[in-house]
Chain A
Amino acid sequence: MKLVHPLMKYVRPGAISTATCTGCGDGIIAQAVLRAIDELELNIDDFVFVSGIGCAGWIPSPFFNADTLHTTHGRPIAFATGVKLARPDREVVVISGDGDLAAIGGNHLIHAARRNIGMTVICANNGIYGMTGGQVAPTTPLGLKTTTTPYGNVERAFDLCALTDAAGASYVARWTTYHARGLTRSVKKALTKRGFSFIEVISQCPLQYGRRTGVGNAVAMMKGYKENSLSVKKAASLSEEELKNKIIVGELVDKDMPELTEQIEKLRRIHE
């Protein structure tokens, strides 16, 4: 008997394969999102997936058999805000990379978090501009040698979770591709959350990050995530020095705040 992958029913017919390179973490993120939808028994036709430019923009589009919006560079959250305001009944999910959401689209990210608009943003953070040839990104770790920083990166990296937390997001979590089960759990929680949810996924780019910086292939990078990550609970008792170069994984923020489309609906009812 031939087994069929339980998530294949969500894959667009004709999109026979993921668009990513060998060992890319984006495929693991795609699978985690689809598994969360499958486990919650939600209808994928109620979703609108919005993505931008970059490797991670290819996670939902054209791979997911749902409404997808592949937008201009850095603007997926701006487009998603429009979709959510026009159709508040739709579940809006933004899946894009760190270059798209944190570099060129950084302002959209913080303002969506400030407005607390009901959408889920999943950021595949590979710490580099993978698609364009491995240039330094605002999320590149300090000291890393990339194509454009041959003597090492001298700029500090963005802490995207702290950024969205400070801007006012309702739910913030960080995982790596090694923590695929935790990631699925967080996506499930984010999808059921009313306000703005942000999930940062530290993801491997074996070609532009692993190969150029000498970290190694996809397996070596994922094993590195396993060794260098700490849970939120464990990290709370450690000093700043001990947490240097460590990835803190888990749920960082989970609170209930008034959601934007609900507030607008309330206002509309008062003035009707």
Chain B
Amino acid sequence: MIEIDEDLCKGCEICVAFCAKDVLEMSDKFNKKGVHPPLVVREEDCNLCGNCMLYCPDLAIVVAEEEESE
């Protein structure tokens, strides 16, 4: 599962460019900083490679395996 802290994002689009599975897209909305944060659009395609998390210069993306809920 991918979680984006939208208010930490500065809108550099590195996560969108380096996602091998095109999971992310830039959204139309504005965050607190006045930039467009990315949006998770195809989460089912994500293979948890963690590229977006690794390359995010602002520690705004977290990728983790989904915990099974009871």
Residues of A whose CB lies within 8 Å of any CB of B are 1-8, 11, 16-18, 20-28, 30-31, 177, 180-181, 206, 217-219, 222-223
Centre residue among B8, B13, B59, B62 by max chain A CB count within 10 A: B59
In the complex with contacts A18-B58, A181-B54, A3-B14 CB distance below 8 A: no
CB of B26 to closest CB in A, whole Å: 12
| CB atoms of B59 and A5 under 8 A apart | yes
The total number of A-B Cβ pairs within 8 Å is: 70
| CB atoms of B58 and A17 under 8 A apart | yes
Which B3-62 residues have a C-beta within 8 angstroms of A?
3, 5, 8, 10-14, 17-18, 35, 53-59, 61-62
Interface class of chain B by DSSP: loop
Q: Please, how many residues of chain B have a CB less than 8 angstroms from a CB on the other chain?
A: 23
| CB atoms of A20 and B54 under 8 A apart | no
Task: Name which residue of chain B comes closest to A1, CB basis.
Answer: B67
Partner of A23, one of B14, B54, B62: B14
| CB atoms of B14 and A222 under 8 A apart | yes
Contacts of A22 in B (CB 8 A): 10-12, 35
CB of A37 to closest CB in B, whole Å: 14
Contacts of A219 in B (CB 8 A): 12-14, 17-18
Contacts of A4 in B (CB 8 A): 62
CB of B2 to closest CB in A, whole Å: 9
Contacts of A222 in B (CB 8 A): 14, 17-18, 55
What are 28 A-B interface contacts by the 8 Å CB criterion?
Answer: A3-B1, A3-B3, A3-B62, A5-B61, A17-B10, A18-B59, A20-B57, A22-B10, A23-B10, A23-B12, A24-B57, A25-B57, A27-B57, A27-B58, A27-B59, A28-B54, A30-B57, A31-B57, A177-B55, A181-B54, A206-B12, A218-B13, A218-B14, A219-B14, A219-B17, A222-B14, A222-B55, A223-B17
Residues of B whose CB lies within 8 Å of any CB of A are 1, 3, 5, 8, 10-14, 17-18, 35, 53-59, 61-62, 64, 67
Partner of A31, one of B5, B10, B12, B54: B54
Contacts of B56 in A (CB 8 A): 27-28, 31
Cα A177 to Cα B35 in complex, Å, equals 23
**5 tightest A-B CB contacts, nearest first:** A27-B57, A23-B12, A219-B17, A3-B62, A3-B3
Task: Name which residue of chain A comes closest to B51, CB basis.
Answer: A180
Contacts of B64 in A (CB 8 A): 3
Cα A22 to Cα B26 in complex, Å, equals 15
